Amino acid sequence: MSSFLRSIISVSALKLVDYIVPIIIMPLVLTRFNLEGYGVYSYVLTISTFISFIYDACLNTVGVQQLNKLKGNEIAQQSFVISAIFFKLVFFFVCAIVFIIISETAGKSDYFCVVIFSFGFGMLNSWYYIAKDNFRFIIIVSLVVKILAVLFVLYYAFELHMFIFIQAIASALVGLISLIKIKNDNRLGKISFRHIKNYLKNIKHMYIYSGVNALIQPIINSAILASGNASLLGIYNVVMRFVTVSVTFSNSIITVLNKCNSEVFYSVGHKTNYVEVKYRSQLLKLLFYSIVVFICVAAISYVSIYMTKGEISRFFIFLIFSFSLAVIPSILNQYLTQLIHMIHSSKNIVKYVICSNVLSLISIFLFSSLFPYYYIVYAVVLSPIIITICCLWDLKCKNLL
C-alpha cells in the first residue's frame, strides 16, 4: 500500500473516531435527554469547536507545510513544533479567559465544559501526526478513551450536565495525552520567536477567510437558542451532525481526485480538451454522488428525529430537507476549491467565501423578523450554494468546464 493511500486511511480512521462516538451516543441522548437536551449538547460542541478553531490559528494547515519545508533539519523541525505548541497554549488561555468573561450561556457548568471541550479539540494536533505519517498511537488512545467515556455515560450520566461533562473530560484527556507525546517527541526543540513570527505571517489571509467561514455556525446556533425554540435547535444539530460527517468522509474521495488531477495537470497542462472533459466528467459524478448522500442524510435525520418525537410536523420535515440540502454544495466545493487552487491561486476563493458568508449573515438579520425560523434555512444553504456558483463561474471563465 502506498504512503498516500495509507495516509488517507489513517486520517479517515482518526476522523471516524471523532465522529462515530457522537453518532453512536445520539440515540442515547435523544432518548434520555430528549431533542431539547441534544440541542444544548450540540450547542456546547459548536461553541467549543469554534473556540478551538480560533486558537488553533490554521496550524492544522500550515503546520504540515512548515514541517515539510524544514525536512532534513531535525532540530529546526522540533523547534518549530515546540514554538507552535507554546503559542497555541498561550492563545488557548487567552481565548478561555475572554470566553468566560463575555459568554452569555445559561450556566457556569456549561462555561466550564466549553473550555474543557475546546482544549481537547485543539490540543489533539492532528497536523503533527499527518506530517510525521504516524497515526497509530493517537488513534488507539482516542478510541480507548472515548469508548470508556461511552461506558461512563451509559451507567452514570443521568443528568444532561453530567453527560456533557464526561464527554468534555474524555476529549480533554485525549488532547492532553497527545500534547505530552508531542512534547516528548520534540524534546530537543526550543521555543523560537522567529518560528512563531514566520508562522503568523503565513496564516494572515487564510485565518481571515477561515474565520469568517467558521463564524456562521456559532451565530446560527446562538440565533436559534435566543429564539427559545429548543426543538428547532435539536433538529438543526441532528441534521448538521450527519451533514458534517458526510462531508468529512467525502473529503477522502476528493483528496484522491486531487492527486490524479495534479498529476495530469503538471504533465500535460490544463489547456487541452482531454482535461476539460475530465473535469466536467468528475464534477457530474460528484454531483450524482452528493445527491445520493443528501438523500441518505435526510432519511437518517428524519428517522432519528421521528424515533424521538413521534409525529413530525410538515414544517420540521421542510427544515430537515432544507438543512440536508447543504451537503450537495459542500461536497462539490471541496472539489472545486482544490481544483482552483491547483490551477492558479486561492485568492479568488478567499473573496468567494467571505462574500457568501457575509450575505448569509445579512440574511439572518433581514429575514429573521419577516420570516421567523426560515432565515436559518437561508443562512445554512445560501452560503455553500453561492461558493459553488462562484467557483463554477471561475472555472468556466478559464474554459475548464
- What does the pLDDT read at residue 218? 72
The Cα–Cα gap between 250 and 98 comes to 35
Grid coordinates belonging to 373: 425560523
Could you give phi then psi for residue 288, rounded to 5 degrees? -60, -45
Burial of 245 (0-12, 13-18, 19+ CB in 10 A): buried
Grid coordinates belonging to 4: 498516500
What Rg do the C-alpha atoms of the chain give, in angstroms?
21
DSSP state for residue 58 in the 8-state scheme: T
Cβ–Cβ < 8 Å for 32, 158: yes
- What does the pLDDT read at residue 175? 92
Decide: helix, strand or coil at residue 386.
Answer: helix
The Cα–Cα gap between 125 and 63 comes to 9
Grid coordinates belonging to 52: 478551538
The Cα–Cα gap between 33 and 308 comes to 10
DSSP state for residue 15 in the 8-state scheme: H
Query: Closest by alpha carbon to 106, among 6, 217, 28, 222?
Result: 222
Give the CA count within 13 Å in the CB-facing half-sphere of 319.
Answer: 22
Grid coordinates belonging to 206: 487564510
Identity of residue 288:
F
Query: Closest by alpha carbon to 82, among 196, 6, 218, 231?
Result: 196
Q: What is the pLDDT along the chain (401 residues), one digit of tens a residue?
A: 555 566 666 666 666 666 667 667 777 777 788 777 777 787 788 788 888 888 887 777 677 767 777 777 888 889 999 999 999 999 999 989 888 887 765 455 567 888 999 999 888 888 788 777 777 888 888 888 988 888 888 888 788 888 888 889 999 999 999 999 999 999 888 888 888 888 777 776 667 666 766 677 777 777 777 766 667 777 777 787 788 778 777 776 776 666 566 666 656 555 555 455 567 788 888 899 999 999 998 998 888 788 776 677 787 788 888 888 888 988 888 888 777 766 766 667 777 777 777 777 676 666 655 555 666 666 677 778 888 888 888 887 776 66
- What does the pLDDT read at residue 91? 92
The Cα–Cα gap between 392 and 401 comes to 8
> CB under 8 Å, gap of 24 or more: what pairs does 347-354 form?
348/390, 348/394, 349/209, 349/391, 350/205, 350/208, 350/209, 352/386, 352/387, 352/390, 352/391, 352/394, 353/209, 353/212, 353/213, 353/387, 354/208, 354/209, 354/212
Per the rule left: phi > 0, alpha: psi between -120 and 50, beta: everything else, 310 is left
